[in-house]
Structure 1
Amino acid sequence: MPVFFEKHPIWSLLIAIVVAVVLWLIFAPWPPGLVEVLGRKRVFLNATFGGITLGALYFLVASGFTLIFGLMRNVNLAHGSLYLLGGYIGFEVSEATGSWLIAFPVVFVIVAVLGMLLQHQVFRRMEGEELRQTMVTIGLSVVLADLMLWWWGGQSYTIYSPDWLSGPVTLPIVSTVRESGDIIYLRYPAVRIAILVAAIALGVGMWLLLNRTRLGMLIRAGVDDREMLAASGVRIQYVFLAVFAFGAGLAGIAGIVGGTFQSLSPGEDTRFLLASLVVVIVGGMGSIPGAAIGALVIGLSEQLGLVYAPTYSVVFTFLIMAGVLAFRPQGLLGRTR
């Protein structure tokens, strides 16, 4: 970060100003003039925190996608189907066992095994053939979507969180100030706060794994020069198999999270695949911090757009993506190859 500040002082100043303004909007009581322009502060805060937690969900999906697509260069357009399948299986497991937590390891293992099959039977046979990978995985996603529609039907499912995560929590953020001078603090669902904390912990763990461990070194070396790494005696296919399984398992876990504070229904696979693509493009291929920033930007744009410009809320996401592609095609934190 200090290097970034030294190389880009103007951008650093602009970023600092934006961060300061956002923090003031969140923590400081609003004057009457601002209330008239933006509406009640409670609405703004709910939209902001809703965007942050939606960004956390997008990051959970896109973090697996950026490993598979960004690092391994495998175009897996069935990633959204893995998300929805994980959500459905998580719903069945939580209903059968009565435990929300047990669903996570079960779903991770099942979807990870499916990911290993995809890597071994599909992508290993089409290495470097992006067009074939695209067409085959589109076909697989259609087949999986039809199978899920046949088994679970067209209705929506919701995964219920445990009692210790139900209900709201009070955050130390001023929601509004009454005329009498009483301060009302923001109350927000506990399960969404837990999801945000889990997403942050996962992001930090993945960054450390890729940048501070021998396995991460092998993954990055295998992407940059697979032949040289294989010649040194490393079985790179096993490394990529493990990475693909981990990325698929993350998509399955994200399905449980998505089914907890939203819902599961046909079409969610396409929605989250598209969101993952946008997040990876905006953040930068193969960059975990980039995926986190991209997910945060897209989540906030969607939620704030729904509140302040509902007619054009969908457009904002693609305007952001178009702007990034126009001025920084490798993504915000991507590197030029």
Structure 2
Amino acid sequence: MSTALLIEQLLNGLQFGVMLFLMAAGLTLIFGVMGLINLAHGSLYMVGAFACAAVAAATGSFWLGLAASLAAAAAAGALVEIVVIRRLYERDHLDQVLATFALILIFSEGTRWLFGSFPLYLDIPSALSGAVELPGGARYPLYRLAIIGVGIVVAAGLYMLISKTRLGMRIRAGESDREMIGALGVDIRTLYTVVFALGAALAGLAGALVGALQSVQVGMGEPVLILAFVVIVIGGIGSIKGALIGAILVGLVDTLGRFLLPKLFVAFMGPSQGTTMGAAIASMLIYVVMAFILAFRPRGLFSANA
């Protein structure tokens, strides 16, 4: 195994982790502030991808599509919060799960009605279509490096928003004592709508960025949603720092596991059986890591205020 190939897989894991962070950051923000289990978060990821693909196809500009993904996902999130979610805050988690699961079905069928059952495709923008040379001579797509860069910028922006701004102060206060900040005159309903729209916009951004790497299709958000829940459980529910660390950990473990474990088992069991066994174990590796972490830190790696 060459150094260049290993570096490429590390970068793939980092890029996958950054995408998961964009999903998990919004999810953990919504749960931390509102105490809401939102199964429809993956549908907002899908909305962002379809909005980007549709606008990019109509205008020929990926960048306009990217802006449309943010706007569409944020608007969809705000509308969902006002019409549906606002009635669930005082209900138990089972009601929240059932209602947001119903939203998955509504979003899926609505998207299929608007765009049809066939997948859409996004072209990588020409400015990011090249590749850079890695140590050892291999080449790595510039677009994937750009996704990593976007994730770093978003993580820094969220840190500044949460820790340095008045809105961030209200968000942190809402996590700790929502009744008190309501008594102090903060409009809780508006704050919740803003937080939900922000989380939805992050999911939409992730969907748009990944849409250029794979097809845009109905139901694309559900598999990513499962991994996003794994990320926030590992990182600590309500913690943005935990979402970042957990996402990178999950991305690297999943990517390197799928790359290395089949090779390891082939050395002991032969090509056919070793590849099958290695792939099977690699597919459950992140859940093993999650169980191991929770055995020692039941609340995750970081607290809600970290």
2:61 pairs with 1:99 = yes
- TM-score between the two structures when normalised by the length of structure 1: 0.81
Match of 1:141 in 2: 104
The gaps in structure 1 that reach 5 residues or longer are: 1-38, 176-183
Task: In structure 2, give the amino acid aligned to 1:163.
Answer: S
Q: Give CA-to-partner distance per residue, 1:234-265, whole Å, 9 cap, x none.
A: 11211111111111111111111110123323
Following superposition of structure 1 onto structure 2, how do residues 280-295 of structure 1 map, counting pairs within 5 Å? 280-295=232-247
Match of 2:204 in 1: 252
Shift in Å at residue 155 of structure 1?
3.6
Match of 2:259 in 1: 307
Shift of the 153–322 alpha-carbon distance from structure 1 to 2, 3 Å rule, reads farther
Match of 1:86 in 2: 48
Task: In structure 2, give the amino acid aligned to 1:260.
Answer: A
Q: How many angstroms apart in 2 are the aligned matches of 1:302 and 1:146?
A: 31
Q: How many angstroms apart in 1 are the aligned matches of 2:47 and 2:63?
A: 17
2:178 pairs with 1:216 = no
Alignment counterpart, residue 95 of structure 2, candidates 117, 132, 136:
132
2:36 match: secondary structure: coil
- TM-score between the two structures when normalised by the length of structure 2: 0.89
Alignment counterpart, residue 320 of structure 1, candidates 285, 289, 297:
289
2:62 match: secondary structure: coil
Alignment counterpart, residue 51 of structure 1, candidates 10, 13, 20:
13
2:198 pairs with 1:235 = no
Shift in Å at residue 329 of structure 1?
1.5
Q: Give CA-to-partner distance per residue, 1:293-315, whole Å, 9 cap, x none.
A: 11111111111122122232211
Following superposition of structure 1 onto structure 2, how do residues 101-120 of structure 1 map, counting pairs within 5 Å? 101-120=63-82
Q: How many angstroms apart in 2 are the aligned matches of 1:117 and 1:150?
A: 19
Task: In structure 1, give the amino acid aligned to 2:23.
Answer: V
Match of 1:17 in 2: none
Report if the CA contact (8 A) 1:70-1:280 is conserved: no
Q: Give CA-to-partner distance per residue, 1:242-289, whole Å, 9 cap, x none.
A: 111111111111111110123323442111110110111111111111
Shift of the 149–167 alpha-carbon distance from structure 1 to 2, 3 Å rule, reads same
Q: How many angstroms apart in 2 are the aligned matches of 1:252 and 1:159?
A: 15
Match of 2:220 in 1: 268
Task: In structure 1, give the amino acid aligned to 2:292.
Answer: G
Shift of the 46–156 alpha-carbon distance from structure 1 to 2, 3 Å rule, reads farther
Report if the CA contact (8 A) 2:235-2:302 is conserved: yes
2:135 pairs with 1:166 = no
Q: How many angstroms apart in 2 are the aligned matches of 1:274 and 1:229?
A: 32
C-alpha RMSD over aligned residues: 1.6
Report if the CA contact (8 A) 1:66-1:285 is conserved: yes
2:63 match: secondary structure: coil
The gaps in structure 2 that reach 5 residues or longer are: 262-278
Q: How many angstroms apart in 1 are the aligned matches of 2:88 and 2:23?
A: 24
2:119 pairs with 1:156 = yes
Task: In structure 1, give the amino acid aligned to 2:148.
Answer: L
Q: How many angstroms apart in 1 are the aligned matches of 2:29 and 2:109?
A: 26
Q: How many angstroms apart in 1 are the aligned matches of 2:255 and 2:127?
A: 27
Q: Give CA-to-partner distance per residue, 1:310-330, whole Å, 9 cap, x none.
A: 232211111111112221111
Task: In structure 2, give the amino acid aligned to 1:135.
Answer: L
Q: Give CA-to-partner distance per residue, 1:37-76, whole Å, 9 cap, x none.
A: xx22232222111000011111111111111123321111
- For the pair shown, the structure with the greater C-alpha radius of gyration is 1
